[in-house]
C-alpha cells in the first residue's frame, strides 16, 4: 500500500502516519490480570512463610483429623516453645522471639511509615510515572533495637542511606539509626529505641586466664559483651576531659591481671601526669614511670630494643608471637600521649620518644609488643602516627571534626556521633577496628579504687611493692 507514492511502512517508520496496531481482546486482558493477581498472591504468601506455613499445616490437620488435629499441633508447639524458652532463653529469643517481634513491629510501625520515610529522605525513585521504593526484606527485633534488611533500588548505594540515617531515626522514633552494607544491593538499617548503656557499668568480672583474642572490656548497645582482640594490634583511646579514658585503661589492666600474674603479659606503664591515675596499679606493672621524662624515653627505647631483638629471634620461625611466661606480651601503656609527643619542652627528648614509638607502632604487632595510648587532643601535629593504631576508641569529643581524626574518614557519617555523647555517660565510646569500617557503640566498665586495690592484691606478681590497703581491707 502506498500513500502519495510512498510505502505505508516507510511513512510509519518516520512517524508521518500511524501503523495499525493489534488490539488485545477483552477476554485476554481479563485473563492476564487474573494471572498477575495470582502470581502476586503467591509471592506474598511465600514471603510470609513464617505465618502462612503454620496456617497451612493447621488447615491440613483440620481436613484430615477435624478439630483434634489442629488442637494437638498447637498444644505440642506451645509446650515445645515453653521448654525451649526455659532451657535456652538466649537461643529462643534469637530464633523465635526476634522473628515474631520483628513481624509485629513491621506491621504496626514500618509498613505504615515506610513510604513517607523514603519520600522524605529522597530514597524513592519515579520512573514512567511510577513510584518505586526500596523493599524491606526482613525485620528482626530485640527489646533494644530493630534490624531491617532492605533491598536497594538500582543505582542506590549504602552511603546514601547512611547520609539520611538522621532523617530516618526521627521518622521512626529511634534515638539512633545506622546503615551498613550487608552485601551488594542490600543494606542493614538498625533503629535503636532503647539504650542499654544508660545505666553505669561497674567493674567486670575477671576471667581466670582470658583469651587475648577475646578480652571482655564492656557492653555494646545490643546488650552483649564487647570483646576486643589484643594480639596483633595497637589501641588508641581519645576523649575529652571526664569522658572516661580511665574506664577503658583500667578495664584493660584488670582484664589482663591474671595473665600478668601468670607471667605471659607484662605491663610497662607511663603516666606523664605525675602518677595521679596509674599509681594505684603500680604492683601490677613490670616497668613504671610518672615524673622523669628522661626515664620515660629510656623505657620506650628499651621496649623498642627488646622488640627488635625478639624480631631477630623469631624471624623464619613464626609470623606471630605467642605469649608465654618466659616470653610475654609486652603492653606499653601511655596515659597521656600528647604530653610526650607535643607538650614536652625538651626537643631532643621529644624526638627520641617519637622515634621509639614509631618503631613500636610500625613493627611491634607481630613480635608481641602492644602500644596502648590515651590522649585528649587527636590533632595530627599532636599524634603524627595515629594511622598506625589499628584499633581506635573514641569517647566523648568536643568537636565533630575530631571524630574523623580519631576513627578515620567517614566515621561520623557512619554513625559515630562522639561529639553528641552526653557528659552524664562517661565510659561510652565508639570503637572502630582496622578490618571493619563501621563503628561499634560500647560502654566500658568502671573499676573504682576498691576494685583496683583488690585486683592488685589478688594478681600482683613478684615485682612491685605490696598495695596500700586501709585498716578494714588489711584485717580482711
Q: Please state the residue numbers annotated as binding site for ATP.
A: 239-246
Distance CA 88, CA 90 (A): 6
The continuous run of DSSP H or E covering 330 comes out as strand 329-334
The owner of cell 548505594 is: 157
- Paired strand residues for 178: 190
DSSP string, 426-450: TTEEEEEETTEEEEEEEEE----HH
Q: Indicate the SS3 state at residue 202.
A: coil
| Triad 336, 341, 344: Cα angle to 5° | 90
Strand 265-270 and strand 225-228: pairing?
A: unpaired
DSSP 3-state assignment of 392?
strand
CB-based burial label for 68 (10 Å; 0-12, 13-18, 19+): exposed
Q: What whole-number distance in Å separates Cα of residue 284 and Cα of residue 21?
A: 90
Query: What is the rounded CA–CA span in Å between residue 242 and residue 424?
Result: 10
Beta carbons of 235 and 370 less than 8 angstroms apart:
yes
> CA-CA distances (angstroms) from residue 387 to 124, 238, 383, 434?
38, 13, 9, 10
Location of C-alpha cell 582496622 = 434
The residues pairing with 440 across neighbouring beta strands, listed in sequence order, are 431
Residue 200 CA, chain-centre distance (Å), reads 20
* Whole-number Å distance between alpha carbons of 146 and 183: 19
Residues 6+ apart with CB under 8 A from 147: 102, 139, 140, 141, 188, 189, 190
Q: Which residues are annotated as a binding site?
A: 239-246
What share of residues in the chain are helix, strand, coil (percent, to 5)? 45, 20, 35
Amino acid at each position: 500500500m502506498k500513500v502519495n507514492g510512498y510505502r505505508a511502512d516507510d511513512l510509519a517508520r518516520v512517524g508521518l502516519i500511524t501503523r495499525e496496531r493489534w488490539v488485545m481482546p477483552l477476554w485476554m486482558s481479563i485473563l492476564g490480570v487474573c494471572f498477575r493477581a495470582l502470581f502476586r498472591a503467591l509471592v506474598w504468601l511465600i514471603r510470609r512463610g513464617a505465618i502462612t506455613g503454620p496456617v497451612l499445616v493447621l488447615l491440613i490437620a483440620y481436613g484430615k483429623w477435624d478439630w483434634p488435629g489442629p488442637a494437638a499441633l498447637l498444644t505440642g508447639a506451645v509446650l515445645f516453645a515453653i521448654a525451649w524458652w526455659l532451657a535456652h532463653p538466649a537461643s529462643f529469643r534469637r530464633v523465635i522471639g526476634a522473628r515474631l517481634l520483628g513481624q509485629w513491629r513491621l506491621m504496626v510501625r514500618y509498613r505504615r511509615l515506610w513510604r513517607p520515610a523514603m519520600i522524605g529522605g529522597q530514597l524513592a525513585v519515579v520512573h514512567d510515572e511510577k513510584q518505586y521504593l526500596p523493599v524491606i526484606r526482613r525485620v528482626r527485633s530485640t527489646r533494644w533495637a530493630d534490624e531491617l534488611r532492605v533491598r536497594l533500588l538500582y543505582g542506590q548505594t549504602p552511603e546514601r542511606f547512611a547520609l539520611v540515617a538522621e532523617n530516618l531515626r526521627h521518622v521512626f522514633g529511634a534515638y539512633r539509626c545506622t546503615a551498613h552494607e550487608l552485601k551488594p544491593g542490600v543494606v542493614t538499617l538498625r533503629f535503636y529505641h532503647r539504650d542499654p548503656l544508660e545505666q553505669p557499668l561497674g567493674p567486670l568480672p575477671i576471667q581466670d586466664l582470658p583469651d587475648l583474642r577475646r578480652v571482655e572490656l564492656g557492653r555494646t548497645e545490643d546488650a552483649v559483651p564487647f570483646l576486643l582482640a589484643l594480639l596483633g594490634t595497637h589501641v588508641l583511646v581519645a576523649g575529652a576531659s571526664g569522658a572516661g579514658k580511665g574506664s577503658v585503661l583500667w578495664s584493660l589492666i584488670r582484664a589482663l591481671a591474671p595473665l600478668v600474674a601468670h607471667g605471659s603479659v607484662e605491663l610497662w606503664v607511663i603516666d606523664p601526669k605525675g602518677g595521679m591515675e596509674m599509681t594505684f596499679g603500680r604492683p601490677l606493672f613490670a616497668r613504671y614511670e610518672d615524673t622523669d621524662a628522661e626515664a620515660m624515653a629510656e623505657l620506650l627505647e628499651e621496649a623498642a630494643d627488646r622488640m627488635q631483638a625478639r624480631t631477630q629471634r623469631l624471624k623464619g620461625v613464626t609470623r606471630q608471637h605467642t605469649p608465654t611466661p618466659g616470653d610475654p606480651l609486652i603492653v606499653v601503656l601511655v596515659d597521656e600521649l600528647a604530653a610526650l609527643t607535643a607538650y614536652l619542652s625538651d626537643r631532643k627528648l621529644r624526638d627520641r620518644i617519637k622515634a621509639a614509638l614509631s618503631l613500636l607502632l610500625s613493627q611491634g604487632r607481630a613480635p608481641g609488643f602492644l602500644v596502648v595510648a590515651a590522649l585528649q587532643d587527636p590533632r595530627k601535629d599532636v599524634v603524627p602516627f595515629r594511622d598506625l593504631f589499628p584499633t581506635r576508641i573514641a569517647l566523648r569529643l568536643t568537636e565533630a571534626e575530631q571524630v574523623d581524626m580519631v576513627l578515620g574518614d567517614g566515621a561520623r557519617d557512619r554513625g559515630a556521633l562522639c561529639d553528641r555523647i552526653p557528659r552524664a555517660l562517661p565510659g561510652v565510646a565508639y570503637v572502630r577496628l582496622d578490618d571493619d569500617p563501621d563503628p561499634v557503640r560500647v560502654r566500658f566498665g568502671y573499676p573504682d579504687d576498691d576494685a583496683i586495690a583488690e585486683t592488685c592484691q589478688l594478681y600482683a606478681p613478684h615485682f612491685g611493692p605490696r598495695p596500700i590497703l586501709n585498716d578494714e581491707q588489711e584485717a580482711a
